[in-house]
């Protein structure tokens, strides 16, 4: 199978560089407001530690967030047969297979590389897709692994969650800190911290948003090539779009971070999390797949 060059190394560098820069800017703002430069080093160190931890534990963190459980070949022979066939066709090792106990239909892959990968399907997606559609979905997810998308998404989601947590802390810090002008903080320092507290989560989301959407299109195209059946994935995406609004996933910090790795946005259409989705519109994805099939 031909692997296209999507310049993922450059995209990864830009994504993680932007997230790190935002963390350092938060540290610089706190340092300016408090008059203590140690905050810059502290936030840079937190970013480094979080990146390292996410790199080594990306798979377990995502699976734990979804309360997923591993399944054996005896329990899910259809999953093993599809994944094994696609992995062999791509010349890649067989990933671990997990199932998440939620009726919201979705699937995601995780892991830092093909040798440490896992594929997770929700109970909901296994209930609504036929074998052909499920094969299309799994082809898409495996291509995320082979294109090295998963590690970047995992690390970016972890840093994005960290930035959001830091921003919430700063809102409390800004409200409580009332140092006088001579101390170096004053009302402008407090307002600056509050502004960053509000803007930082939005900025971190938009940084992920700007790169992750192209990866979904790439995985759709490559997954269609792997399965040789683009219409199967298109049919699956239609079902996911219709069913998710009836059975949305609970919007929690854990599911919000994993959502960027899922094949479809798992939240209800009008939710704020859906507004800042890292996924392109489903109708665009379906149209592209139909074009590949010659429709």
What amino acid positions are annotated as catalytic residues? 141
From start to end of the chain, where are the E strands? 69-70, 96-100, 107-110, 118-122
- The closest of 216, 222, 235, 231 to 294, measured between CA atoms, is 231
DSSP code, position 249: P
H/E stretch holding 70? strand 69-70
Rounded-to-integer distance, Cα 99 and Cα 122, Å: 5
> How far is Cα 51 from Cα 41, in angstroms, rounded to an integer?
15
What's the CA gap between 250 and 267, in Å, rounded?
A: 7
- Separation between Cα atoms, residue 79 and residue 95, nearest integer Å: 11
Return d(Cα 124, Cα 134) in angstroms, integer.
Answer: 12
Token couple for 186: 């004053």
- Displacement of CA 71 from its chain's centroid (Å): 23
């Amino acid at each position: 199978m031909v692997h296209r060059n999507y310049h993922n190394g450059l995209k990864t560098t830009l994504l993680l560089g932007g997230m790190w820069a935002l963390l350092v800017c938060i540290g610089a703002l706190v340092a300016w407001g408090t008059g203590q430069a140690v905050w810059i080093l502290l936030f840079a160190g937190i970013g480094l530690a979080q990146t390292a931890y996410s790199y080594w534990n990306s798979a377990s963190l995502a699976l734990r967030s979804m309360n997923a459980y591993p399944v054996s070949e005896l329990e899910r022979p259809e999953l093993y047969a599809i994944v094994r066939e696609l992995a062999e066709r791509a010349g890649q090792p067989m990933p671990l297979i997990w199932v998440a106990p939620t009726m919201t239909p979705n699937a995601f892959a995780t892991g830092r590389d093909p040798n440490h990968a896992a594929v997770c399907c929700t109970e909901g997606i296994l209930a609504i897709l036929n074998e052909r559609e499920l094969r299309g979905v799994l082809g898409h997810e495996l291509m995320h692994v082979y294109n090295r998308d998963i590690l970047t998404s995992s690390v970016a989601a972890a840093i994005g969650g960290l930035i959001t947590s830091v921003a919430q802390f700063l809102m409390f810090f800004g409200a409580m800190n009332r140092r006088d002008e001579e101390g170096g903080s004053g009302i402008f320092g407090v307002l600056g911290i509050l502004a960053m507290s509000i803007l930082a989560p939005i900025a971190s989301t938009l940084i992920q948003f700007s790169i992750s959407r192209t990866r979904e299109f790439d995985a759709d195209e490559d997954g269609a090539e792997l399965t040789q059946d683009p219409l199967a994935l298109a049919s699956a995406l239609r079902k996911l779009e219709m069913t998710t609004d009836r059975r949305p996933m609970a919007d929690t910090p854990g599911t919000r971070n994993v959502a960027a790795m899922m094949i479809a946005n798992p939240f209800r259409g009008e939710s704020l999390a859906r507004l800042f989705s890292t996924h392109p519109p489903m109708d665009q994805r379906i149209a592209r797949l139909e074009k590949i099939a010659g429709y």
